Structure 1
């Protein structure tokens, strides 16, 4: 690979990559000054084996001696950063687990070897971690030497006192590795023999090496825990009911277990309800017409290794009548990568296949094909080229999977911010990296926390929040609508960036709940720094698309050792792929063949995990010298490993009150020393797939629990008469700045805010949403009036409604020339945004008094607080007041006091 090919190596498929690397490796072998390093992996194919044979032939001397790392190699590795140590040992032709220890080796060699293993395992390299710990658990020479040491200590009259510091270090590191292997479910008989000896020595010794053995008793294997996120066939049939014990207060392991349980419940409950609906046989045709159920689906093997860059083994093909082809293509296009699809041969659910959706190119999408990976199969062996029924899980799967996987493997001993999150402490410590009296700088002006610059761009309460954010290692800032949360966050992050090198924080990490908010933040912060990486989906804003990690691949930043490991693992994937393909092709229906296939499938998934881990390592070399990393929390849960590699100390959460508690946890690492949560729990709450799971964020829970927080109290958005709708119905107090008091009146309207009362009935749509034709007509007429008569720009106006069906209904009522230019949106999707004039359709109007979303103060708060100049609402206010919600009575009283209720919008009669 040379020239332009070398620049694009990361995007090449396996065949191109292998051919290019074969050529490059052979060239490098000719250079006498180039160290020869190849990864010894007997499973990666003939080419690698040949390279290793050639290396062995040229090395000379004893093979065992050549295979062994010298003490200086271990010492050299331990001086490196953990990730460089990984590259150093894994790109070598010598195997770290073959011939490294002999019965007569010194304690120093054994101790260094164990220290290297611990450092590598502390990286928690997904896909590699199991291999490392499994190989450790099978190191018979190591286990025997440590066993002898423990027996010697037991036999001493002194009662287990270690004679040397090196012995304590060795035994402490061994205990750590034994516990990790136990949690991963790979510890064997020899390892558990050592655990029993540790337990015998524990009461006899004061050494820390023999303490903290409790987790060995009853801790469930991480392998089993990770798999619990997937629904089982028995659950679908109603035969399996999960029983959970109540969590023990202030216990990290129990707390994490409870969070995993809530995640599973939130994801699985809607799915299991949908399965029961399918099993009942009701409305099957209607579900097919709505695109919620797809019979005639088949799974097809990928014999040509097509899409090999994305490692696509299986394609799912959906059939549809010719007249429904467009619906099919649109449906497939809208299935996100990371979604979980369920397939079965019949709606009796005698069997079940679960597949996750991967990347698929446009050409295959047009043919009705999706790239998928088989993740589970129950009670079915032959799954290819046979008719299946397919449906998607009601809740998008990937965020749940990523967070659940993290909570299944995270360290409870080094659980970040446990004193506040788990133990309920309310006295907040300063960040560990900001010492008392530390001199900081902001916009080239030095300051300390006790002596801030005088010309900060804040009001008094914002300045208090700014100071609190720097003084508290766990800081919560609540900002009602329009109070400048984003402005404060941008300036705060700018200050953190300016001091990051001096304080050694690593890149600052900013996380948001939505991509729109992420881009909004990025536009503002990019005024201060260009050293930014944006992870996740491509930005729709061209001025910040340049920050996307996909556009910043730089081969020069990637070490040659990493490129070689990448190539080796890709070769291994291809071998595993071929093995599994052969098993599928020759499947004979026997139990033995079925089990063999499942094992091969699992092995392939493990290698796929290694490839994803290496992709993250590539990103580490791009990210380590950046000022700022920005992404959504869904993306962050996937990249937790990157945060650990970077040892990033400071994480800022925007929209923190909208993020589920478990998702916050998945963004923290043992290196996290400073957490800043910015949001407002009185606006939108976290999304929940099940009404059985409480919609309470960590942000809200801690505020209600008494953790100190800072409240911003001056709003810069709404005309005062609009802001007063929120007080005291939602907020106790909310001041308005002078700037909003100077707004001009809305042109050709007699009032700047108004509520049109009516009693025209709502209508329920097929997708369980609601619409109101009368309100849609009135909203469309008013929008046209404001554009054509009042001469407002289309960008000045937005029409909001709580229901998606009403969004569609209003769009249809607008004149065709405005349907693509007037913004009509749901209230939820407009959170964090604002418009000069808001038209609000509340929709609900019925004889039973059911008001749905309008019962929730959080949604009402968002709906009423988006407008700057004018707010015009239409709804059945009388019914809302009779619903028993005090909120609407308070709002109605304010409207009446301002004579802002009527049966028609107050357009000026002179127009």
Structure 2
């Protein structure tokens, strides 16, 4: 059984170390299964990056299939790739590594260009006769110039190495871990008896001091402060006073503005220099706080970096923002082709950025794309290239000479001096950064020696396993660590959750540090003012999972369409007033669900929901909660088959209507919302999967103004519903 309170650190280490190793073995089995499927994707050989006497390197773009990212290599992970030609012939498998999408540099006619995956592919000379052509020549990605792509996946050890490496740094060899980091680790595990405290307002006095300045209220930051709700202000003023071992654990509910609050705190910390000089290259230097923002998922890395960029612009703050995702795995160590020269010279660099830099140079030389938008946060490669372009005639003149002279182009062993020039460029770029958004794996590598943050924010930390959270403590020693998220909606992702899995610690690994902290009464402040839901829609989740403490931060008078939605729902209640705009609906004579493997859908539910969707779309009174524009609709289901059926039904709507409706499964709907939400539970019997409290908490907190829960009439009569349903039955009673 999982422990929420550990008796000692040894038990924590034993469970999580064994569980992480078993999780990797389960991942290997999954990878083997996917490889056997021999999935085919649509792709394009965009351009040749580099040609030497022994190998050619290409940039290949791939369109994810119906299953999206699940069956593609993750960013930074190694794999093998082969082409499937028009006549059905296939090439050999070549080395490939997924890289950051180049779409910031390119313009293309492809649908959903942001979804396209990019790969750096290496073809050795012995295979050159069957290698791809130099590329499509332009960036018109069409069916006519596409090729088929197969992948041979490899179970990446990057996450396992990062997590176990963090544990080893803090509990094993204690290499590079300060006494302060060790004490923070001990508190992280035991959640009791902290050996020191951090007063953030003492360490960064202007966080609180500027609030007392009479001119603050009229300043850009003062206007942002005025927008914070009472709970956010209370956490800001009092919650930073006594951080146990420098750790701030700050949960937040749906629509509570967690990221908004964090970014405001960061902007305040960076608005003035730190009171104490920071050692930079052996010399004391007055500078503003540097921030590392860690998110366990790739897409939110882009989102938070772009939001930080926009916030700095709104505030008139000139700050350098960088977003990084697969960087840690890609630049782990110098390429083996260069290792002999490095060894002979006695000048071994920790990281080789050369391949990244050459790819960027190649993309810029294509010249097809417009510059990234001003609110678009650059990747590390883009930021490095911008810096190089600014100083190429002065500070990086030697690098320019290499590029113009093409001294590297035909050499299999890239000259050490050239790689040193590139390394210095990237090192300088990281050193000058003020805000870096990245993933835990990227943060765990040599990056930690090039960027020294003063504040670390680990967003959505309950989604990450505990050892993943520890990466922030093991690799950095900032003033404070912030762990944010909602443990009621999110649990750590563990792939080995099937009943036949041999990982006996999988349930332990699905317990987050934040959930354990709640059990230990170690959370003094929470953000539970909901700014999403109107009309009392927040009350169901508040009663079910937030101990009645989640309150509304909205004035219902602002939602002009709310009376119309209440009236619309009232027609299903024999004209009675629907005070809280949520209904639980049974369809009379509803047939059973239809199965599709392990998934399911209910045709009667789909037909009924889509009829209501068309009614709402054609109702001129159905407006956005806070803006004078048409309202939006979100259809949610726990099952992929139901999601697919709704997706097909939406495609049959007129184009203008399709833009206002989307469908998602429960597992990918967090962070999304709409004016009206349909939740289709599909099945006629309650199951453990359907009754999951985390999924249900997410599902019933997406609506702004109205919600309908589709429940099969036979469900309430099923034995599992009556005896074992700990969540669906109370929801049924409360609705």
| TM-score (normalised: structure 2) | 0.63
Deviation at 1:676, TM superposition (A): 0.9
Aligned to 1:863: 699
Deviation at 1:442, TM superposition (A): 5.9
Deviation at 1:543, TM superposition (A): 5.4
CA 1:268–1:841 in 2, change beyond 3 Å: closer, same or farther? same
Deviation at 1:689, TM superposition (A): 1.8
Aligned to 1:81: none
- 1:641-680 maps to which residues of 2 (within 5 A)? 641-668=446-473, 669-680=475-486
CA 1:547–1:383 in 2, change beyond 3 Å: closer, same or farther? closer
- 1:825-844 maps to which residues of 2 (within 5 A)? 825-844=664-683
Aligned to 1:704: 519
2:687 to 821, 826, 850: 850
- 1:234-253 maps to which residues of 2 (within 5 A)? 249-250=8-9
Between the aligned partners of 1:456 and 1:837, the Cα distance in structure 2 is 29
Deviation at 1:459, TM superposition (A): 4.2
Contact 2:48 2:59 in 1 (8 A): no
Contact 1:513 1:656 in 2 (8 A): yes
Between the aligned partners of 1:458 and 1:399, the Cα distance in structure 2 is 36
Aligned to 2:321: 533
CA 1:864–1:370 in 2, change beyond 3 Å: closer, same or farther? closer
2:22 to 252, 259, 265: 265
- Give unmatched runs, 5+ long, in structure 1: 1-246, 279-283, 295-301, 319-324, 345-352, 375-381, 448-452, 579-603, 896-911
Contact 2:58 2:120 in 1 (8 A): yes
Contact 1:763 1:770 in 2 (8 A): yes
Aligned to 1:469: 240
Contact 2:306 2:375 in 1 (8 A): no
Contact 1:531 1:627 in 2 (8 A): yes
Aligned to 2:340: none
Aligned to 1:881: 721
Higher strand proportion, which one?
2
Aligned to 1:488: 261
Deviation at 1:813, TM superposition (A): 1.6
Bigger radius of gyration: 1
* Pair 1:307-2:136 in alignment: no
Deviations 1:100-129 (A, max 9, x none): xxxxxxxxxxxxxxxxxxxxxxxxxxxxxx
Aligned length: 566
Contact 2:399 2:422 in 1 (8 A): no
Higher helix proportion, which one?
1
Deviation at 1:682, TM superposition (A): 0.2
Deviation at 1:700, TM superposition (A): 2.4
CA 1:796–1:524 in 2, change beyond 3 Å: closer, same or farther? farther
CA 1:557–1:826 in 2, change beyond 3 Å: closer, same or farther? farther
Aligned to 1:714: 529
Aligned to 2:293: 510
Contact 1:316 1:369 in 2 (8 A): no
- 1:137-156 maps to which residues of 2 (within 5 A)? none
Deviation at 1:856, TM superposition (A): 1.5
Contact 2:677 2:702 in 1 (8 A): yes
Deviation at 1:732, TM superposition (A): 0.8
Between the aligned partners of 1:802 and 1:440, the Cα distance in structure 2 is 43
Aligned to 1:545: 376
Deviation at 1:860, TM superposition (A): 0.5
Between the aligned partners of 1:672 and 1:681, the Cα distance in structure 2 is 24
Aligned to 1:60: none
Secondary structure at the aligned position of 1:554 is classed as helix
Aligned to 1:730: 545
Aligned to 1:167: none
Contact 2:291 2:455 in 1 (8 A): yes
Deviation at 1:826, TM superposition (A): 2.3
Secondary structure at the aligned position of 1:728 is classed as helix
Between the aligned partners of 1:340 and 1:463, the Cα distance in structure 2 is 45
* Pair 1:822-2:657 in alignment: no
* Pair 1:628-2:451 in alignment: no
Secondary structure at the aligned position of 1:805 is classed as helix
Aligned to 1:72: none
CA 1:426–1:418 in 2, change beyond 3 Å: closer, same or farther? same
Secondary structure at the aligned position of 2:457 is classed as strand
Between the aligned partners of 2:153 and 2:411, the Cα distance in structure 1 is 32
* Pair 1:618-2:425 in alignment: yes
Deviation at 1:739, TM superposition (A): 2.6
Between the aligned partners of 1:315 and 1:550, the Cα distance in structure 2 is 18
CA 1:795–1:469 in 2, change beyond 3 Å: closer, same or farther? farther
* Pair 1:357-2:97 in alignment: yes
CA 1:439–1:783 in 2, change beyond 3 Å: closer, same or farther? closer
CA 1:753–1:533 in 2, change beyond 3 Å: closer, same or farther? same
Deviation at 1:475, TM superposition (A): 0.5
2:563 to 726, 729, 745: 745
Larger RCO (alpha carbons 8 Å, 6+ apart): 2
Aligned to 1:554: 387
Deviations 1:605-648 (A, max 9, x none): xx99x96x9867534423434442233445434xx533432321
Aligned to 2:356: none
* Pair 1:786-2:616 in alignment: yes
1:479 to 240, 252, 259: 252
Deviation at 1:858, TM superposition (A): 0.7
Aligned to 1:242: none
2:647 to 795, 811, 817: 811
CA 1:256–1:393 in 2, change beyond 3 Å: closer, same or farther? farther
Secondary structure at the aligned position of 1:886 is classed as coil
Secondary structure at the aligned position of 1:685 is classed as coil
Contact 1:659 1:686 in 2 (8 A): yes
- Give unmatched runs, 5+ long, in structure 2: 1-5, 83-92, 111-116, 132-148, 215-221, 279-287, 327-369, 498-502, 571-577, 623-628
Between the aligned partners of 2:174 and 2:528, the Cα distance in structure 1 is 38
Aligned to 2:487: 681
1:419 to 169, 186, 198: 186
Deviation at 1:724, TM superposition (A): 1.9
Between the aligned partners of 2:201 and 2:424, the Cα distance in structure 1 is 29
Secondary structure at the aligned position of 2:724 is classed as coil
Between the aligned partners of 1:828 and 1:310, the Cα distance in structure 2 is 46
Secondary structure at the aligned position of 1:710 is classed as coil
Secondary structure at the aligned position of 2:24 is classed as helix
Aligned to 2:76: 338
Between the aligned partners of 1:757 and 1:875, the Cα distance in structure 2 is 6
Between the aligned partners of 1:261 and 1:563, the Cα distance in structure 2 is 49
Between the aligned partners of 1:276 and 1:827, the Cα distance in structure 2 is 25
CA 1:521–1:435 in 2, change beyond 3 Å: closer, same or farther? same
Aligned Cα root-mean-square deviation (Å): 5.2
Between the aligned partners of 1:423 and 1:784, the Cα distance in structure 2 is 54
Between the aligned partners of 1:798 and 1:551, the Cα distance in structure 2 is 35
Contact 1:746 1:870 in 2 (8 A): no
Secondary structure at the aligned position of 1:469 is classed as coil
Deviations 1:573-604 (A, max 9, x none): 976659xxxxxxxxxxxxxxxxxxxxxxxxx9
Deviation at 1:372, TM superposition (A): 4.5
Deviation at 1:291, TM superposition (A): 4.3
